[in-house]
Structure 1
Amino acid sequence: MSGDLAERQAALVAALVAGGPVPPGFDPAALAAAGTALLRKRAGEVARHWPLLAAGLGPQWPATFARWAAGRPTAGSLRDGWDLARDLRDQGSLPPLGAEELATREATGRYDGHRPPRPRRLPGWGRADGAVAVQVAGRVRLLRPARH
């Protein structure tokens, strides 16, 4: 692949998924429509990994995810959901179902926000907005549900 073609493809991908400028020769409206469709698809993929978070947000899920994801390249559905849940928690807008799911994920995995999540081998716990989950010997138990 020539360097020029690779650069043009990278510019197109950046415009579609990372908020980059519209490359020369592309219709801005068509590119915006394609970007919106990709965000919708990405939201569906994240909802499959984070069903309680999506259910907790209900009809606001697509708009909430789109606002958060606009201009951010994906890190994968699991990590995108984890990052979104943590951001919502930090803003005080994480729904109770999402808090319980985040607490469970924090109990079963280690995720620093940069590298891929890894399973915990030792007992672990997670807490989010009042929800507390523990993981011992591979079993997870929600000790306290989130505030409703």
Structure 2
Amino acid sequence: MVAPSGDLAARQAALVAALVAGAPTPPGFATAPVAAARAALLRKRAGDVARHWPLLAAGLGDTWWETFRAWAADRPTKGSLRDGWDLARDLRARDALPPLGAEELATREASTRYDGRGTPRPRRLPAVARAGGAVAVQLAGRVRLLRPARR
């Protein structure tokens, strides 16, 4: 007997939520394999974010994986660039942003507008951004770090 397409879609959505958004394992699926797949997807996501935010990942060093895992475990991805941006802003709000991450965040925010919801867009007007003591300025499309973050 074939399940109605609405039932199949609901089961698929529940499985995806369990894999990428921290939802419980849906009925009919073995918990251990779903947990293993969830961990593998989270590691892949952390690697993708680290490629888009290399200074943030380097600044966190050995704590990168644990920091990212704790932050992302119950959040669905918005894409690597936006995930890294949201993580950096969250760390800044908790006063836990490392100096390299602060410099990377300041330069990104000087060059690009991102409100946390929509797609990041290049800035057209001059801008100044600050994060963790770092100050970056964007003039005529060029970004310069004026002051490094406190070490």
Q: TM-score range by the shorter chain?
A: over 0.9
Structure 2 gaps, min length 5: none
**Match runs of 1:63-74 below 5 Å:** 63-74=66-77
Which amino acid counterpart does residue 25 of structure 1 have in structure 2? Answer: G
Q: 1:93 corresponds to which residue?
A: 96
Q: Distance in 2 between matches of 1:126 and 1:47?
A: 22
Q: 1:113 corresponds to which residue?
A: 116
Q: 2:130 corresponds to which residue?
A: 127
**Match runs of 1:1-148 below 5 Å:** 2-148=5-151
Q: Distance in 1 between matches of 2:31 and 2:129?
A: 44
Deviation sequence 1:27-80 (CA, Å, 0-9, x none): 111111110100000000000110000000011101100000011000111100
Offset of residue 132 of structure 1: 0.2
Q: Distance in 2 between matches of 1:71 and 1:129?
A: 26
Which amino acid counterpart does residue 28 of structure 1 have in structure 2? Answer: T
Q: Distance in 2 between matches of 1:82 and 1:129?
A: 14
The sequence identity of aligned pairs, in percent, is 77
Aligned length: 148
Runs of 4+, deviation exceeding 6 Å: none
Q: Distance in 2 between matches of 1:21 and 1:59?
A: 29
Report the 3-state secondary structure (helix = DSSP H, G, I; strand = E; otherwise coil) of the residue aligned with 2:135. Answer: strand
Which amino acid counterpart does residue 85 of structure 1 have in structure 2? Answer: A
Q: Distance in 1 between matches of 2:25 and 2:91?
A: 30
Q: Distance in 1 between matches of 2:125 and 2:78?
A: 26
Structure 1 gaps, min length 5: none
- RMSD (Å) for aligned C-alpha atoms: 0.9
Which amino acid counterpart does residue 140 of structure 1 have in structure 2? Answer: V
